[in-house]
Amino acid sequence: MLVIDGQIVSVGTRREVEAQKEARRAEKIDVGGRVVLPGFVDSHTHLIHAASRAEEYELKIQGANYEEIARKGGGILNSVKKLRAATAEALKLRGRAALQEFAAHGTTTVEAKSGYGLDIASEMKILKLQRELNEEQPLEIVSTFLGAHVVPEEFRGTAGGAKRYIRILLEQMMPEVVNEGLAEFCDAFCDRGAFTRKQSKQVLSEGQLHGLVPRLHAEQLSHTGATQLAVELGAASCDHLDRINDSDVRALGKSNTVATLLPGCDFHLGGKQYAPARKLIEAGAIVALATDYNPGTSPTVSMSMVLSLACTQLRMNPAEAIAAATINAAFALRREKRLGSLEKGKQADLAVFEVEDYREIPYYFGMNRCWMTVKRGEIIYMQD
């Protein structure tokens, strides 16, 4: 592969590539027979958060379920409380450390959502940090406004609280996010305990009027019709999909809305009901995989681990899983023309693995075999 100014200009056999005139002066990087993939595109993360929720992890192991914990002020609201109290400096330090970990695991592009702020100042704090981090370190960050994550504490317990919060979200938060150019996408958590289908539609449609492309957290805990809504709105993706039915599968099969599966959540929560990946693939849906890196349900940056889960739990084969974590995920972020594959004209974002065969990447589960990561033609990570 020949790379000039961060772009792939030629891919082929050693003889073909080395015969080119521009190749003569090129710096040579020999990866010694290792496997080279496009850098992973992680199309669903909650990058900026203040702390882990290890205390809830233990409660869950003892039998409390995710929704019970949420009702007692744990869950997302727990993360909101911690984020509002945290300084921008502390959040940035944690975010930057996570991004280094992503790079060390072969990920070169990360989508990141707000949604642990849920008031104007805190949502802006998150999105501004994402922009700063995008400029200050090598990984590419794609920003999503998730003001509709859950109804914040101060709007609960009174009639019409959700309605009042949505009004603030639409009339104050969203215009500010758009004016500052802080997000490309708008997301909503459409599920039991979060927002209804009608409320999600209201938020996402208003976002579309402002130029924000919709994506959706859909059918994770219950079946709400969110998938059909995503298809109807022409959303870039709908994510989770553990509880979709056959008609949802058919709708996704006929649409360009990416079905983003997040098996790390099911694994961490000890769930048994993984999304029906095989049915989606057979119906012709565009399936992507992401970590959903977040402190409550999927505390991992490891796409390799997600690939392992996709293979053993979702019954995807290794090639399907790798495509889902690269080119299909790039499509979910509307970057498929520039990212997600190793072809002439694409950005030189690469992950090199210490394996003899690409199938060994998911095969060695829970192990990081990433040996080198390259972003825009520059080495950004090298194993010691």
Chain residues that interact with Zn ion, rule: CB under 5 A: 292
Query: Please, what is the minimum distance in Å from the beta carbon of residue 168 to Zn ion?
Result: 22
Q: Among residues 292 and 354, whose Cβ is nearest to Zn ion?
A: 292
Q: 191, 224 in Cβ contact below 8 A?
A: yes
Q: Residue for token digits 């681990």?
A: 305
Helix, coil or strand: residue 241: coil
Query: Please, what is the minimum distance in Å from the beta carbon of residue 82 to Zn ion?
Result: 17
Query: Please, what is the minimum distance in Å from the beta carbon of residue 351 to Zn ion?
Result: 23
Q: Among residues 7 and 196, whose Cβ is nearest to Zn ion?
A: 196
Which one-letter amino acid corresponds to residue 299?
P
Query: Please, what is the minimum distance in Å from the beta carbon of residue 17 to Zn ion?
Result: 40
Alpha helix (H) ranges present in 149-276? Answer: 161-168, 174-179, 197-209, 226-233, 246-253, 263-269
The answer to whether the Cα torsion of 242, 105, 299, 121 is positive or negative is: negative
Radius of gyration, CA atoms only, the chain:
21
Q: Among residues 2 and 212, whose Cβ is nearest to Zn ion?
A: 212
Residue nearest Zn ion by beta-carbon distance: 292
Query: Please, what is the minimum distance in Å from the beta carbon of residue 186 to Zn ion?
Result: 14
Query: Please, what is the minimum distance in Å from the beta carbon of residue 150 to Zn ion?
Result: 12
Query: Please, what is the minimum distance in Å from the beta carbon of residue 144 to Zn ion?
Result: 10
Q: Which residues of 157-170 are buried (b: 16+ CB within 10 A; e: fewer)?
A: eeeeebeebbebbb
Q: Among residues 297 and 326, whose Cβ is nearest to Zn ion?
A: 297
Q: Among residues 119 and 292, whose Cβ is nearest to Zn ion?
A: 292
Cα separation, 239 vs 310, in Å, equals 15
Q: Among residues 9 and 91, whose Cβ is nearest to Zn ion?
A: 91
Cα separation, 85 vs 92, in Å, equals 14
Q: Among residues 116 and 331, whose Cβ is nearest to Zn ion?
A: 116
Q: 277, 249 in Cβ contact below 8 A?
A: no
Q: Among residues 123 and 292, whose Cβ is nearest to Zn ion?
A: 292
Query: Please, what is the minimum distance in Å from the beta carbon of residue 212 to Zn ion?
Result: 17
Listed in sequence order, the residues at least 6 apart from 353 whose beta carbon sits closer than 8 Å to its beta carbon are 34, 35, 36, 37, 106, 360, 361, 369, 370, 371
Which one-letter amino acid corresponds to residue 6?
G
Tell me how crowded residue 90 is: count the other CB atoms within 10 A of its CB: 13
